[in-house]
Chain A
């Protein structure tokens, strides 16, 4: 399974839904999507990773890049990371640059 990536923008909030595996094999697709996000100049970015089963440093690099391009004033929300994805984000210190939220449907 590769990456499933979608973007929606509503009232200044860009939501990027990433599902599957964010690794070196899928970074080009993620990067292309995140270029669109930066062009939208959102005031908040929600990264919905509820269905993201794997995040390597290659995938993380895409998220760090969009953080740098958007600037510190744009809040980034990491929504529903798995335990392993959250651990990767924490180990790299990226958790200090975003808000981790857990919201479950139902």
Chain B
């Protein structure tokens, strides 16, 4: 098993740093192009959510930890914003409204759920922790 970690601290979105971290992790795990894209998408959505909604544009730390095992790749995303369980998000009302009506956003967590084989959340030691798992 091999691991990697990245700590991001500031008040901006980290899409590019997250993309580079996921690309390295996925490359080490031998994930397909599609699996790599989807893991990046899920990680991007969760980290952007933490910056925009969790820290509300203020400064705050986000930590990524990647782990490659024989049968799976796991990416842990931690932040220290107020507790928020994205796994409990129900996309049905936004989907029912359709894109022509309502808020222009609200799709990020839906994409997270569809992008990985398993998605788990826990609040531990004052931190939100999202765990993304992709089968190799």
Contacts and interface: CB of A to CB of B under 8 A. Distances in A.
Contacts of A23: 13, 15-16, 19, 44, 48
Contacts, number: 77
Interface in B33-68: 34, 37-38, 40-41, 44-45, 48, 51-52
Interface residues of B, number: 26
Contact of B15 (A24, A64, A65, A67): A24
A106 interface: no
Contacts of B88: none
Interface of A is mostly: helix
Interface stretch (A5-13, A42-50, A88-96): A88-96
11 contacts: A21-B15, A23-B16, A24-B52, A57-B108, A57-B111, A58-B15, A61-B105, A84-B37, A93-B95, A96-B99, A97-B100
